[in-house]
Chains A and B, each alone.
Chain A
Amino acid sequence: MPRYLIERSFPQGLSIPLNDDGRKAVDGLVQVNADHGVTWVHSYVSADRTQTFCVYDGPSPESIRKVAERNGLPVSRITEVSVLDPYFYRP
């Protein structure tokens, strides 16, 4: 399954409360993702919390947009990516 990096903007800043509401919100996202065969791997958040860079596995860019819409999340750009790290060329 392809892996995608999704860039999102939150001009007002992103906040997920660290309580039960936050947990429920995230659970909801994961359930919607699962309906479309999409997995949220993890995300990086900019220091000012206005940008996120999210790593997702999914069957197609269309499925990524579909779950973003259902979850009410913005999408600025989707890029297909693969993993490269400093040990990539070592056995």
Chain B
Amino acid sequence: MQALLEAASQRGAVALVAGEAGIGKSSLLLAAAAAHAARGGTVWWGACDALQTPHPLAPLLDVAREHRPRFAARLEGPRPALFEAVLEELRRAHGAVLLVIEDAHWADDATLDLLKYLGRRIERTHAVLAVSYRDDEVTATHPLRRVLGELPMAARTLIEVPRLSADAVGVLARSLGANPAGVHAATGGNAFFATELLRAGGRLQAGVPRSVQDVVLARFSAQPASVQALLRAVAVLPGRAERALVDALAAPTPEDLDAAVASGLLVMDGPWLAYRHELARVAVESALSPALHQAWHARVLQALSAATPQPAAARLVHHAVHAHDVAAISRHAPAAAAEARARGALREFGAHWRVAVRQGRPRDDDERIDWLEGYALACSVNSWLDEALDTLQRLERLYRARGDLARAARVRAAQSGPLVGQLRHEAAREACRDALALIEGLPEGPDVAQVWASMCWQCMLDRDYADSVAWGRRAMALAERLGDRAALERAIIATGAALLFVEPETGQRMLLDLAERRRARGDRQGTAAALSMVGTGMGETLYLREAEACLREAIELYESVDAATQYARSWLALVLLSLGRWDEAGAAALHVLPRAGLEDYSTLMAQVALARLRLRRGDPGADDAIAAARLLAEPSGTLQRMAPCAAVRAEAAFARGDTAGIVAAVESALPLARAKGHPWFVGELSYWLWRAGAAPPAASGCAEPYALQMAGRWREAADAWLALDCPYEQARALAEGDAGAQQQALAIFDRLGAAPAAEALRRRLREAGVRGVARGARESTRAHPCGLTTAEMKVLRLMAEGLRNAEIAARVHRSVRTVDHHVAAVLAKLGVESRGEAVRRAEREGWLAPAGQSGQSGSAT
């Protein structure tokens, strides 16, 4: 930690302090903070709390309260400005700042976004961002895990707090004057547990206690009743407790306080009281009987309700829930939801609405409807599909019972959203049809505009372009007349997406214009959604470069790491695969898989990408990926999911020479692709039938490169694929050509690492008697890691000398533009964001040898 702080004058860093509860993370951070402060450094300290639903940005509020930084003025304002202000302050600080975020396993969504935001920019500050968390609780699907995955590797250091060795426990025992016998074995070296056990010393004659709880409770029960009351009061207050609040709850005498501190259970820190460790607090709280537990929380709630200023709503909700106080839940949970939404803590926004709806009691049906609308919105932004559907159905029943058909229709149509998320497209279409029937004859109002927008959206998803555009135009006209921006923009997105398939330029312009308008008003999430729509649509129609740029920007802009980001990333994997950047494609697909819900469309598209990658490399695991994709694609009954899955199945069947398998795969989607008029899907699926010799070439309705290829015009097909930046498909077309073209195809397959295609082509060439078929690239050692070309290596070496692009251009006698390209390619291939990072990585891995030498270390297996 100290090394990081010393290096921070050059470059900021993230320190991840990980370990189980009680292992000593806080002690380590406290020691680092004390040492840093002693050297005159600034320490900012914030902790996440164990409230049932955490208070948004609680750690930042801690820092603001204790240190009065400049960003405090922006706490109530919009989030991008707040995050920027925090970063700016870290950047401008004199000397290194140690910013501690404690117990991040409890962090709310807004805090997680802050960690991601700061973490990715920390290198440009003079700060060390120290984040502590219980690694055993941060499972693969824990939200913190996703954030950690987004932090740049170069900027982060993992500090795993070790368990104490037997010797260390012995040292600790001597310092406490206790007998260490058996303590190391009983505690496994957990620092907190070991200390507690040693302090308990001789009092625990009846053998070694089984748990921390036993040790803490033994000490607790040794106290007189008035001290126990004090200990109970502090136990029901997560985090730290204000002295004034504890006075109101338990009225401890100074002697009681002294006794509690002397017992080693509590610590006093100015106006705060807290357990020496969270584990001890939980031990005492969970030992309370249900009746006492409820009563204590009720007393806290009462005391807090009277406090000025009013405490955070999330805190009131926590105690109201534990006090089973329905009236208080009904009062505070909706307020807490609003507060969470304002701070951009989406998960907490949903969690508070869930508490209100499930445990509160609305005054009347109007309020019930307000709550359910709030909950439905929260579920939809969080992609909680089952809950969203259920809530929308409840709303529909309520509106129907009141005879409010327009609203009933709106929420019926809205059910198509979660239904599509569950890949139930037929049910989604039915929801839209029902909604249309409901609004029949109703005057045109905002609900009608939303229903039409839903129709437009659903038709677009099902690739019924003409219908989608027609509904979209009606929805846009009405929404514009009503001045209803939400409905208007929903319709613009879906109409623009539908147009990508028929008038790509119009569609692209509509979506990019919308993205710009949203960007201009500071709506990052909305900008990302529009860009993601352009990127996925252009990926499906093979505008690959544009698709890649839009998807990357969308991923960067999405703040909360949620379902939408994963969908954009799954498409990025498919796009990179087509572009022949297979390593990056694999990394993107694998990034999605452990994160997406098991049954969503991001998983589906990532599995398709992975299956295709493994097939083309001849790697194992393609069949597993196909099986996973099929399970999701086939019940969806929708083209955009079924066709990619069918195509990769056909490719797999072709690879194992299974003609019947090709036919079965193609027939599962080709009729639908023809019915919708989707030239790329029709083209790819027809191509496989033709390769299988199962059908004469049928070029009608096929995208041009496929039609050319089936017509035997391999050279034009190869040129068309080259123009689309699809090297694998280009090589596949060249392999149909003359000897020269086949040699060219072989070189491309070898460069890509397409072993099966290369091997098959070599066999054909040898069988045809061609001599001197080049042996594979795989058989020569790889001179340049990451597939850098010779020119790119040269540029990288000059970058390492610190030259700027113009200087490099002068040295290598090339234009600055060409050098710009090389530099961009080097960064992309190395998967780094800056020149410095590229050079560091090359130096670290030792392949930035002086010109003339190869990078191969020539060792080992």
- What residues of chain A have their CB less than 8 Å away from a CB belonging to chain B? 2, 4, 8-12, 14-17, 21-22, 25-26, 29, 43, 45, 52, 54, 60-63, 65-66, 69-80
| Residue among B786, B855, B857 with the highest chain A CB neighbour number at 10 A | B857
Assuming A70-B845, A72-B785, is B861 touching A14 (CB within 8 A)?
Answer: yes
Instruction: Kindly list chain A residues whose C-beta atoms are within 8 Å of the C-beta of B176.
Output: none
Q: How far is the CA of A45 from the CA of B861 in the complex (A)?
A: 9
Near A by CB (< 8 A), chain B positions 576-613 give 583, 586-587, 589-590, 610, 613
Q: How far is the CA of A79 from the CA of B861 in the complex (A)?
A: 17
Cβ-based interface call for B310 (8 A): no
Q: How far is the CA of A29 from the CA of B858 in the complex (A)?
A: 12
Which of these, B589, B619, B847, contacts A72 with CB under 8 Å?
Answer: B847
Instruction: Kindly list chain A residues whose C-beta atoms are within 8 Å of the C-beta of B779.
Output: 9, 11, 74, 76
Instruction: Kindly list chain B residues whose C-beta atoms are within 8 Å of the C-beta of A72.
Output: 781-782, 785, 847, 855-857
Instruction: Kindly list chain A residues whose C-beta atoms are within 8 Å of the C-beta of B617.
Output: 61, 65
B586→A65 contact, CB < 8 A: yes
A69→B620 contact, CB < 8 A: no
Instruction: Kindly list chain A residues whose C-beta atoms are within 8 Å of the C-beta of B780.
Output: 11, 74
Report B775 CB to chain A, min CB distance, Å.
Answer: 9
Instruction: Kindly list chain A residues whose C-beta atoms are within 8 Å of the C-beta of B619.
Output: 61-62, 65, 78
Which of these, B589, B782, B787, B861, contacts A43 with CB under 8 Å?
Answer: B861
Which of these, B782, B785, B786, B859, contacts A22 with CB under 8 Å?
Answer: B859
Assuming A22-B859, A60-B621, A77-B618, is B785 touching A69 (CB within 8 A)?
Answer: yes
Cβ-based interface call for B306 (8 A): no
B778→A52 contact, CB < 8 A: no
Q: Which 3 A-B pairs have the closest CB atoms?
A: A80-B620, A62-B586, A61-B619
Q: Would you mind naming 15 contact pairs between A and B with Cβ atoms under 8 Å apart? A: A2-B621, A11-B779, A16-B861, A29-B860, A43-B861, A61-B614, A61-B621, A62-B610, A62-B619, A65-B583, A72-B785, A72-B855, A74-B780, A78-B619, A78-B620
Other A-B contacts than A8-B861, A15-B859, A77-B755, 17 sampled, CB-CB below 8 A, are A14-B860, A16-B859, A22-B859, A60-B586, A61-B614, A62-B610, A62-B613, A62-B619, A63-B590, A65-B617, A69-B583, A69-B785, A72-B847, A72-B857, A74-B778, A77-B618, A78-B619
Which of these, B785, B856, B860, contacts A16 with CB under 8 Å?
Answer: B860
Q: How far is the CA of A63 from the CA of B593 in the complex (A)?
A: 14
| Residue among A25, A65, A69, A72 with the highest chain B CB neighbour number at 10 A | A72
Q: How far is the CA of A10 from the CA of B614 in the complex (A)?
A: 24
Near A by CB (< 8 A), chain B positions 829-861 give 845, 847, 855-861
Instruction: Kindly list chain B residues whose C-beta atoms are within 8 Å of the C-beta of A17.
Output: 859
Instruction: Kindly list chain B residues whose C-beta atoms are within 8 Å of the C-beta of A14.
Output: 860-861
Which of these, A45, A69, A76, A80, contacts B621 with CB under 8 Å?
Answer: A80
B781→A10 contact, CB < 8 A: yes
| Residue among A22, A54, A73, A79 with the highest chain B CB neighbour number at 10 A | A73
Q: How far is the CA of A29 from the CA of B859 in the complex (A)?
A: 10
Q: How far is the CA of A61 from the CA of B845 in the complex (A)?
A: 22
Report B854 CB to chain A, min CB distance, Å.
Answer: 9
Report B232 CB to chain A, min CB distance, Å.
Answer: 45
Instruction: Kindly list chain B residues whose C-beta atoms are within 8 Å of the C-beta of A63.
Output: 590
CB-CB nearest in chain B for A26: B860
Q: How far is the CA of A15 from the CA of B856 in the complex (A)?
A: 13
CB-CB nearest in chain B for A63: B590
CB-CB nearest in chain B for A6: B861
Instruction: Kindly list chain A residues whose C-beta atoms are within 8 Å of the C-beta of B620.
Output: 2, 4, 61, 78-80
A62→B778 contact, CB < 8 A: no
CB-CB nearest in chain B for A66: B583
Near A by CB (< 8 A), chain B positions 607-657 give 610, 613-614, 617-621
CB-CB nearest in chain B for A11: B779
A75→B861 contact, CB < 8 A: no
Instruction: Kindly list chain A residues whose C-beta atoms are within 8 Å of the C-beta of B618.
Output: 77-78
Report B163 CB to chain A, min CB distance, Å.
Answer: 20
| Residue among B619, B782, B855, B857 with the highest chain A CB neighbour number at 10 A | B619
Instruction: Kindly list chain B residues whose C-beta atoms are within 8 Å of the C-beta of A75.
Output: 778
B781→A12 contact, CB < 8 A: yes
Instruction: Kindly list chain A residues whose C-beta atoms are within 8 Å of the C-beta of B847.
Output: 72
A54→B583 contact, CB < 8 A: no
B859→A25 contact, CB < 8 A: yes
Report B781 CB to chain A, min CB distance, Å.
Answer: 6
Q: How far is the CA of A26 from the CA of B780 in the complex (A)?
A: 21
Instruction: Kindly list chain B residues whose C-beta atoms are within 8 Å of the C-beta of A9.
Output: 778-779
Q: How far is the CA of A69 from the CA of B781 in the complex (A)?
A: 11
Instruction: Kindly list chain B residues whose C-beta atoms are within 8 Å of the C-beta of A65.
Output: 583, 586, 617, 619
B 780-805 to A, binary, CB cutoff 8 A, 1 in contact else 0: 11100111000000000000000000
Q: How far is the CA of A66 from the CA of B585 in the complex (A)?
A: 12
Q: How far is the CA of A15 from the CA of B861 in the complex (A)?
A: 9
Instruction: Kindly list chain B residues whose C-beta atoms are within 8 Å of the C-beta of A26.
Output: 859-860
Instruction: Kindly list chain A residues whose C-beta atoms are within 8 Å of the C-beta of B857.
Output: 25, 72
Instruction: Kindly list chain A residues whose C-beta atoms are within 8 Å of the C-beta of B610.
Output: 62
Instruction: Kindly list chain A residues whose C-beta atoms are within 8 Å of the C-beta of B858.
Output: 15
| Residue among A21, A29, A60 with the highest chain B CB neighbour number at 10 A | A60
Q: How far is the CA of A32 from the CA of B861 in the complex (A)?
A: 13
Q: How far is the CA of A4 from the CA of B583 in the complex (A)?
A: 18
